[in-house]
A and B are shown apart, each in its own frame.
Chain A
Amino acid sequence: MKNWLNQHILAIQLVLQRLQTHWLNTLTICMVIGITVTLPGLLFVGLDNLQDASRSIKQDAQISVFLKPALNGNVIQRLINDIQPLPQVKEVRFVPKEDAIKQLGQQFSQKDLLADLPQNPLPDALFITLADTHPATAKPVQAQLQSRAEVDEVVIDSVWIERLNSMLLLGKRIALIFATLLGIAMITVISNTVRMQVLTHEAEIEVSRLIGATHSFIRRPFLYMGSAYGLGGGLVAVALMFAIVWSLKQPVQLLANNYQSDFQLVFHLVNIGGLILLSSAMIGWIAAFIALTQKR
């Protein structure tokens, strides 16, 4: 156990030492990787911010629920009581069909609309204001309402938000494609570098193997090396993104103010930054793994 830990500490020390010896090389690779990661990273941050913005849009999303005719007041009240406590629901307003026809009449400034009709054609309705505008918020409420016998029809008044969200989804997909392409570029760069390192340490590898080094002992430093390049590149990317977002913050705020919005550009350092560091270290490891597998 102690030996096992020793082996890993030793490999890490070795890697750090090699990185330090060839610091200019290390820096160059980390910069290249960092810039490579920054581009799709910024796209993600932009989309993330747009999504935040779309959630906080002041206009509330609403669901209109048309009830079956001739429901008893108690039944309606029970339905309201069931919906009200849902976390996605901000407010429930009941509009009886008599009020609805009156409103309609006012809109058409025809006071005796009711008089011309044999009976009121409008149903009783509930208007539900949702907690936010995300489509995922509306869906479960809609489903629950549709399953109720008292409910005739459910209409979500947030088509444009869905449209925005599907555009965001498209944007994210595009960013993902970019990220994948650049990830492949990153793997190529790192695995090439690791392959060069394997070549320069060929003598050491040969001797080590001859005097009893295991396969994993020989591979370990190179795998750590790949991860280190990935991590280094990730750090550069996070720093760059942080700087870029910071420098855009003020202009974006000014722009938002012009539209009476309190929108703020944010960079979720822990979420996005952490994700970038983790995935770039992993990509580095994979790249090194590929380099070592091709070597044989």
Chain B
Amino acid sequence: MISFNNVSMRYPNSAHLFRQVSFSIEKGDFVLVTGQSGAGKSTLLKLMAGIEPPSSGHILINEQDISQLHPNAIPYLRRRFGLVFQDHKLLYDRNSFDNVALPLSIQGITGEDAARRVRAALDKVGLLNKEKAMPITLSGGEQQRLAIARAVVSRPSIVIADEPTGGLDKTASLEIMQLLKAFNDVGVTVIIAMHDVAQVSTIAYRTLHIEQQTISAMPAQAGIL
């Protein structure tokens, strides 16, 4: 589904984050991207979603090399992903409902059809009663769940979440992880960046660990705890 072939990445005027890494993620995988702060977890996710281009190497999504894509095709590539950003990137000038509706309106889905899907997504993350609430009035965990609702509303086949449990306590973190696992259970490929794997409970996952400019893939294992 996603494969990296000899991908190297460095931002201009800085050292390599990783060199010549190759791995692949299959459909239905539940993958944790781990590594220290600054190791390049967020960057790896951005490479997958075509937000940053790699310095060299090839990234294939469904056998298609994304560096070969025409710039006009990039937006359509991104629509296949549900993205949860490290800093949420919620829009604070509109309520929860409108935040979740954004990906749909980008795809030209409006009206009743959109409303139904937005409510379904809010329901899945347990925020149906907060559809009129402004994001600023939501707790950290609720904001995180709202961001997940926005990521899944357009029913993407891949959900990429960057530190979705950042700043949350153990209970709230667990809730988030279980929520993401629930999407994985119905076939969605889920890729999560996090530095504290201890938060993951009994969920079976694979890891991609970034350390010293290499990425080591570890096979599926049951979570600790």
Closest CB in chain B relative to A232 CB, distance in Å: 23
Contacting B at CB under 8 A, from A199-220, are 203-204, 206-215, 217
Q: Are A204 and B76 in contact (CB under 8 A)?
A: no
Q: Is A7 an interface residue (CB 8 A)?
A: yes
Q: Are B108 and A210 in contact (CB under 8 A)?
A: no
Q: Interface residue count for A (Cβ, 8 Å)?
A: 20
Q: Are A203 and B83 in contact (CB under 8 A)?
A: no
Closest CB in chain B relative to A17 CB, distance in Å: 11
Q: Which residue of B lies closest to A5 (CB)?
A: B108
Q: Interface residue count for B (Cβ, 8 Å)?
A: 23
Given the interface pairs A6-B108, A6-B110, A203-B89, the reply to whether A210 lies near B102 with Cβ below 8 Å is no
With a cutoff of 8 Å between Cβ atoms, the chain B residues found around residue A275 in the complex are: none
- Chain A interface helix/strand/loop/mixed: helix
Q: Is B75 an interface residue (CB 8 A)?
A: yes
Q: Are B106 and A212 in contact (CB under 8 A)?
A: yes
Q: Is B78 an interface residue (CB 8 A)?
A: yes
Q: Is A4 an interface residue (CB 8 A)?
A: yes
Contacting A at CB under 8 A, from B92-118, are 92-93, 102-103, 105-110
User: Given the complex of chains A and B, what is the CA–CA distance between A222 and B78 in angstroms?
Assistant: 23
User: Given the complex of chains A and B, what is the CA–CA distance between A235 and B85 in angstroms?
Assistant: 44
Identify which of B83, B103, B108, B150 contacts A7 (C-beta below 8 A).
Answer: B108
Q: Is A3 an interface residue (CB 8 A)?
A: yes
Contacting A at CB under 8 A, from B70-85, are 72, 75-79, 83, 85
Q: Are A207 and B91 in contact (CB under 8 A)?
A: yes
With a cutoff of 8 Å between Cβ atoms, the chain B residues found around residue A211 in the complex are: 78-79, 83, 102-103, 106, 150
With a cutoff of 8 Å between Cβ atoms, the chain B residues found around residue A177 in the complex are: none
Closest CB in chain A relative to B150 CB, distance in Å: 8
With a cutoff of 8 Å between Cβ atoms, the chain A residues found around residue B89 in the complex are: 203, 206-207, 210
User: Given the complex of chains A and B, what is the CA–CA distance between A86 and B49 in angstroms?
Assistant: 74
User: Given the complex of chains A and B, what is the CA–CA distance between A215 and B73 in angstroms?
Assistant: 11
Q: Are B75 and A214 in contact (CB under 8 A)?
A: yes
With a cutoff of 8 Å between Cβ atoms, the chain A residues found around residue B75 in the complex are: 209, 212-215, 217
Given the interface pairs A203-B89, A203-B91, A204-B91, the reply to whether A210 lies near B110 with Cβ below 8 Å is no
Interface bits A175-208 vs B (CB < 8 Å: 1, else 0)? 0000000000000000000000000000110111
Q: Are A210 and B103 in contact (CB under 8 A)?
A: no
Q: Are B72 and A4 in contact (CB under 8 A)?
A: no
Q: Are B106 and A3 in contact (CB under 8 A)?
A: no
User: Given the complex of chains A and B, what is the CA–CA distance between A210 and B75 in angstroms?
Assistant: 8
A residues within 8 Å of B by Cβ?
2-4, 6-7, 9-10, 203-204, 206-215, 217
Q: Which 5 A-B pairs have the closest CB atoms?
A: A3-B108, A212-B79, A212-B78, A213-B106, A212-B75
